[in-house]
Amino acid sequence: MQKMINEIYLSTVAKDVLEFTNDQIQDLYAIASQCPLAGGQAVYRARSLYALADKNTFFNNFTVCEAAGYAMRKAVTTKSKLPIAGTIKIYPNPASESATLEYNLPGVDEVQLTLMGITGQLIKVEIIKGDKGAHTFSTKDMKPGVYQYKVSSSAGNTFGKLIIIR
């Protein structure tokens, strides 16, 4: 499975081609809809690539894994350590030359913005001082595609996707 994902990635996204053939889409969907406990990292990579073709599809790991005979435990989180919804946003999304992180997290000394590629490679880390504000960062050195971001602070972590277009 991983070999097929790598071949699709190398023949498309790695060459700045963000369109897939019908066969590639079918292969990506077949792998992406598997339980990650069975299919491993290839499932997540297939989902990242598939999101370029269909951003509205959601894969429910609990349902998929249960149907495959795997039991997953739900994460236990402390609500007080998670940021309040709507206090962090990145815009515009999709972005071209730059994007802005807008945040409001009272009682936080600094915020860390981490950008990662679809396969988890570290692209950029920025430390921003203060508990609220707007921080604009350049995306000129990033190739078009889908990236993951993580905004970390003492209040918790927020994750999301950032799309770069030209």
Residue type at 55?
A: K
Handedness of CA 142, 136, 152, 78 (dihedral sign): negative
Dist CA 35 CA 32 (whole Å): 8
* Residue 7 phi, psi (nearest 5): -65, -45
Confidence (pTM) = 0.50
- Taken in order of first residue, the domains within the chain and their CATH numbers are 2-67 (no CATH), 79-164 (2.60.40.3080)
Q: Distance from first CA to last CA of the chain, Å, rounded?
A: 31
Write the pLDDT tens digit of every residue in 122-142. Answer: 999 999 998 888 999 999 999
Question: What's the pLDDT at 74?
Answer: 67
Per-residue pLDDT of the chain (166 residues; tens, 9 = 90+): 889 999 999 999 899 888 999 999 999 999 999 999 889 999 999 999 999 988 888 888 888 888 888 877 766 554 444 444 447 889 999 999 999 999 888 888 889 999 998 878 899 999 999 888 899 999 999 999 999 999 988 878 888 899 999 8
Buried b (16+ CB within 10 A) or exposed e, 124-135: eeeebeebeeeb
Write the pLDDT tens digit of every residue in 4-21. Answer: 999 999 999 899 888 999
Q: Are 125 and 112 in contact (CB under 8 A)?
A: yes
- The whole-angstrom distance between residue 144's C-alpha and the CA centroid of its chain comes to 14
